[in-house]
């Protein structure tokens, strides 16, 4: 992958390679933007490569052709960006990694993070080296919950693939969490979300990290509007989250980034998976699978769905 | 003031006594996140082996949303209704040394120019702090690099250290002695003092040494290439600033209804694009380069120039929370490398 990145930059085919670099701790990676071929060695690929880097793709493609390192799940965002006319297929070189799963940092709760030396894939999960020795964290604990229900053997869209396709045996239903919520009585469910949203501090990290939230001006940011109050009471927070869920419906590819970055531990994937399930049931579509298909909620077919008002 | 000791078995009774007289705010675990909330007893608290609280104490002094006044419109007249001062005297239990130290900085900001922030100082005056020593600093902590308040606490009334089966308690103010008076404490003996020293030594071993950011910051480079690097990856969210115990910026907003309404303030941050947008349409911090620089300069340079103190207490929250691993320690390292080279 480094070699390919180097070649792409050397030949001038791309202006930048967006990838993962070593972060400020052994269990952290950080997005990097390689512009010189001699810097290609800074790219890394290991279980700490959690970010969905496609959030940077729109801006990068505005500057010229870009290459990007993706996991199979992230690649689905590229499909969405293409079908929503945010980028052109020809403006991006997709360096698709085969991915055994990425680190769920919470799994390391019992390990003294200050003591971690390295984080590597292991056939049974993730191997963590500390001064005290090596610990193998088993897959079902070590990997992010999206990885436990992942069905993608390889990237659904790619220019170059690295590594062998991975045999998938999902050990968790992707709707596991929402099934539990769906069983609740409406008032229980309301109380559940009220408790979650009461914690929200409206830092908008969830929105900012989302590759689907690319609006130039978010409805929350209009300086003189009252679409949604900036106050952090439960009602306003509720309104923010439900509006965002509606805006990303049919487009959310379930990369899990919003939930990962929420500093208040709000389980946003439960909203997203519910929306994905609804969209699948209503339209038979799943976001991030087909770049040729018109956007699910952005198209209106009068033949298929006649408008009663025009009759 | 004399150090005391309380056995853990007596802690619940002490908390009960505190709850009778004060509103007690303490760390609780909610859906896996540690937040400071009013509690009614020890059983609700997550004090034992407390991991880093997600939020600082900030919301208890400047709430994320605070009504400034309500108003009613009647024909051509308007009635302004000030908010009620409902707050009782409070005890914040289990405060971190960094979060307490941050209050001194916010005090300086909110009292620097007239009029001082009365709502904030009202809460400050009515609040007593029972701090808790961090026996296991997190990977992101660097408080000892910016101050010595971990071992010489400030802005607290009592400082507790967990000695296993008992807490070591140092009263730091007369109010602190009074709070300790409500529990079954005994004077600390030589054993307790040695155990306390040992726990401090172990914690300090995990932390970096004091750095002279106060002098280094004066030569931080406005045009340093690090800003361009940060701007590429920063997402302009507010996670770093909204978790920071010293960030204090707010916006004033209106919630008008037909014949009544309210004016409130809510947290805002220089990381948001619209923060410095002016009515003319001009935005002096238009790109992420200016915005990331503002946060670091404000914490280190401007605060030093204005209040002769650092605006960062090294709590590490911005480091742990940043979705893209922007680590302020590394940023300082970059800035100081070239500052030294100059
Ligand atoms: S990241 Fe979490 S706390 Fe921040 S706005 Fe989103 S849900 Fe709220
Ligand atoms: S809403 Fe969340 S899970 Fe869906 S695409 Fe955006 S960041 Fe990913
Ligand atoms: S800048 Fe970061 S480390 Fe410093 S006080 Fe704020 S949140 Fe803590
Ligand atoms: S860093 Fe930004 S948000 Fe924080 S106090 Fe300074 S200007 Fe305000
Ligand atoms: S938390 Fe990180 S990404 Fe978000 S504004 Fe702060 S530095 Fe930028």
Residue with tokens 């202006």: A15
Question: What is the pLDDT at residue B320?
Answer: 93
Question: What is the pLDDT at residue A224?
Answer: 66
- Please state, as a whole number, how many other Cβ atoms lie within 10 Å of the Cβ of residue B279: 7
- Do residues B145 and B314 touch, judged by C-beta distance below 8 A? yes
Question: If you measure from the C-alpha of residue B164 to the centroid of ligand 1, how many angstroms do you get, rounded to a whole number?
Answer: 36
Nearest to B118 by CA among B81, B68, B167: B68
- Do residues A247 and A271 touch, judged by C-beta distance below 8 A? no
Q: Among A28, A203, A267, select the one facing B325 at the smallest CB separation.
A: A28
Question: What is the pLDDT at residue A256?
Answer: 93
- Alpha-carbon distance A24 to B231, whole Å? 17
Ligand number, closest to the Cα atom of A77: 2
Q: Do the chains contact at B239 and A33, CB–CB below 8 Å?
A: no
- Do residues A285 and A250 touch, judged by C-beta distance below 8 A? yes
- Alpha-carbon distance A242 to A286, whole Å? 20
Our mutation pick for probing the ligand 5 site, out of B234, B299, B315, counting the most ligand atoms within 8 A of Cβ, is B234
Ligand number, closest to the Cα atom of A80: 2
Q: Look up the pTM and report it.
A: 0.91
What are the beta bridge partners of residue A161? A96
Each residue's pLDDT tens digit, A86-116: 899 999 999 999 999 999 998 888 888 989 9
Q: Do the chains contact at A202 and B55, CB–CB below 8 Å?
A: no
pLDDT at B342 over 70: no
Least confidently predicted of A61-65, A172-176, A226-230: A226-230
Q: Does A105 touch chain B (CB under 8 A)?
A: no
Distance in Å, alpha carbon of B172 to nearest chain A alpha carbon: 31
Q: Does A302 touch chain B (CB under 8 A)?
A: no
- Alpha-carbon distance A68 to A8, whole Å? 11
Name all contacts of A188-194 with Cβ < 8 Å and 24+ positions apart.
Answer: A193/A238, A194/A234, A194/A238
Name all contacts of B302-310 with Cβ < 8 Å and 24+ positions apart.
Answer: B303/B105, B303/B246, B304/B214, B304/B217, B304/B218, B305/B218, B306/B112, B307/B105, B307/B108, B307/B109, B307/B112, B309/B104, B309/B105, B309/B108, B310/B105, B310/B146, B310/B147, B310/B213, B310/B214, B310/B217
pLDDT at B288 over 90: no
CB proximity list for B224: less than 8 A, separation 6 or greater: B334, B335, B338
CB proximity list for A147: less than 8 A, separation 6 or greater: A99, A101, A102
Q: Do the chains contact at A56 and B233, CB–CB below 8 Å?
A: yes
Which of B67, B239, B273, B277 would you mutate first to test chain A, the one with the most A CBs within 10 A? B239
Strand pairing class (A160-162; A92-97):
parallel
What does the DSSP 8-state code read for residue A249? T
Which of B63, B205, B237, B269 would you mutate first to test chain A, the one with the most A CBs within 10 A? B237
Each residue's pLDDT tens digit, A280-298: 888 777 887 777 777 777 7
Question: What is the pLDDT at residue A309?
Answer: 67
Each residue's pLDDT tens digit, B291-326: 888 888 889 888 888 888 999 999 999 999 999 999
- DSSP-derived secondary structure for B192-241: HHHHHHHHHHHHHHTSPPP--HHHHGGG--TT-HHHHHHHHH----SHHH
Backbone angles phi, psi at B171, to 5 degrees: -75, 135
Joined together, the tokens standing for residue A159 give 């220019």
Each residue's pLDDT tens digit, B101-131: 999 999 999 998 888 888 899 999 999 999 9
Nearest to B319 by CA among A128, A30, A102, A109: A30
Report which secondary-structure segment, H or E, holds B72.
strand B65-74
- Do residues B109 and B325 touch, judged by C-beta distance below 8 A? no
In order of B58, B122, B123, the CA distances from B126 in angstroms are 15, 6, 5
Distance in Å, alpha carbon of B297 to nearest chain A alpha carbon: 20
> What is the interface pTM, i.e. ipTM, of the complex?
0.91
- Do residues A275 and A252 touch, judged by C-beta distance below 8 A? yes
Strand pairing class (A92-97; A116-122):
unpaired
Question: What is the pLDDT at residue B194?
Answer: 96
- Alpha-carbon distance B48 to A167, whole Å? 43
In order of B267, B271, B277, the CA distances from B299 in angstroms are 17, 13, 21
Each residue's pLDDT tens digit, B44-70: 999 887 667 778 899 999 998 888 899
What are the beta bridge partners of residue B77? B74
Regarding the beta carbon of A74 and ligand 2, being less than 6 Å apart is answered no
The CA-based angle B216-B217-B219, given to 5 degrees, is 80
Least confidently predicted of A1-15, A95-109, A275-289, B9-23: A275-289
Report which secondary-structure segment, H or E, holds A94.
strand A92-97
Exposure on the CB side of residue A279, measured as CA atoms within 13 A: 24
Each residue's pLDDT tens digit, A203-245: 999 999 999 988 888 888 776 667 788 888 888 899 889 888 8
Q: Does A126 touch chain B (CB under 8 A)?
A: no
**Maximum alpha-carbon separation in chain B:** 74
Each residue's pLDDT tens digit, B162-211: 999 999 999 999 999 999 999 999 999 999 999 999 999 999 999 999 88
Angle between helix A186-198 and helix A234-248 axes, rounded to 10 deg: 100
Question: What is the pLDDT at residue B330?
Answer: 94
């Amino acid at each position: 992958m480094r070699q390919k990145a180097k070649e792409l930059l050397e030949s001038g085919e791309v202006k930048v390679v967006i990838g993962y670099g070593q972060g400020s701790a052994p269990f952290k990676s950080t997005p990097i933007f390689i512009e010189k071929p001699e810097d290609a060695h800074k790219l890394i690929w290991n279980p700490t490569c959690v970010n969905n880097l496609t959030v940077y793709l729109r801006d990068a493609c505005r500057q010229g052709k870009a290459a990007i390192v993706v996991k199979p799940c992230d690649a689905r965002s590229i499909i969405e960006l293409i079908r929503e006319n945010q980028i052109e297929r020809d403006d991006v070189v997709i360096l698709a990694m085969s991915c055994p799963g990425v680190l769920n940092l919470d799994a390391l709760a019992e390990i003294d993070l200050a003591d971690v030396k390295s984080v590597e894939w292991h056939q049974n999960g993730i191997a963590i080296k500390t001064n005290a020795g090596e610990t193998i964290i088993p897959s079902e604990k070590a990997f992010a919950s999206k990885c436990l229900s992942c069905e993608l053997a390889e990237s659904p869209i790619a220019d170059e693939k690295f590594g062998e396709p991975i045999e998938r045996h999902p050990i968790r239903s992707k709707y596991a969490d929402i099934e539990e919520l769906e069983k609740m009585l409406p008032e229980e469910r309301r109380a559940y979300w009220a408790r979650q949203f009461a914690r929200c501090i409206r830092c908008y990290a969830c929105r900012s990290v989302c590759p689907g939230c690319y609006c130039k001006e978010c409805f929350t940011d209009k300086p003189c509007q009252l679409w949604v109050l900036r106050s952090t009471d439960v009602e306003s927070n509720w309104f923010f989250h439900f509006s965002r869920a509606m805006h990303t419906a049919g487009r959310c590819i379930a990369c899990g980034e919003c939930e990962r970055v929420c500093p208040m531990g709000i389980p946003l994937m439960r909203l997203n998976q519910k929306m994905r399930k609804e969209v699948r049931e209503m339209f038979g579509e799943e976001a991030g699978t087909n770049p040729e298909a018109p956007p699910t909620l952005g198209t209106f077919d009068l033949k298929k769905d006649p408008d009663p008002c025009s009759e | 003031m004399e150090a005391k000791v309380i056995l853990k078995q007596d802690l619940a009774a002490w908390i009960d006594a505190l709850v009778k007289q004060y509103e007690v705010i303490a760390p609780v675990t909610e859906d896996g996140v540690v937040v400071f909330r009013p509690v009614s007893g020890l059983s609700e608290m997550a004090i034992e082996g407390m991991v880093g609280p997600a939020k600082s104490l900030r919301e208890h002094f400047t709430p994320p949303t605070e009504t400034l006044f309500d108003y009613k419109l009647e024909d051509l007249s308007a009635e302004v209704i000030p908010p009620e001062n409902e707050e009782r005297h409070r005890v914040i239990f289990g405060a971190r040394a960094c979060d307490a130290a941050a209050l001194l900085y916010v005090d300086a900001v909110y009292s620097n120019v007239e009029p001082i922030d009365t709502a904030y100082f009202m809460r400050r005056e009515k609040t007593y702090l029972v701090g808790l020593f961090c026996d296991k600093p997190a990977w992101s902590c660097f408080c000892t690099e910016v101050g010595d308040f971990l071992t010489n606490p400030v802005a607290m009334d009592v400082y507790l250290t967990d000695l296993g089966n008992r807490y070591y308690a140092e009263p730091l103010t007369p109010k602190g002695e009074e709070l300790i008076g409500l529990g079954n404490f005994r004077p600390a003996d030589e054993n307790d003092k040695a155990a306390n020293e040992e726990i401090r030594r172990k914690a300090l071993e995990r932390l970096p040494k004091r750095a002279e950011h106060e002098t280094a910051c004066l030569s931080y480079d406005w045009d340093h290439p690090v800003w361009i690097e940060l701007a590429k990856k920063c997402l302009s969210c507010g996670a770093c600033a909204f978790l920071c115990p010293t960030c204090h910026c707010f916006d004033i907003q209106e919630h008008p209804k037909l014949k009544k309404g309210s004016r409130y303030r809510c947290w805002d941050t220089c990381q948001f694009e619209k923060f410095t947008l002016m009515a003319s349409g001009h935005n002096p911090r238009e790109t992420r380069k200016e915005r990331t620089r503002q946060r670091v300069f404000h914490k280190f340079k401007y605060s030093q120039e204005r209040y002769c103190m650092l605006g960062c207490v090294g709590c590490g929250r911005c480091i742990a929370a940043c979705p893209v691993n922007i680590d302020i320690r590394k940023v300082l390292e970059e800035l100081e490398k070239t500052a030294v080279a100059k």
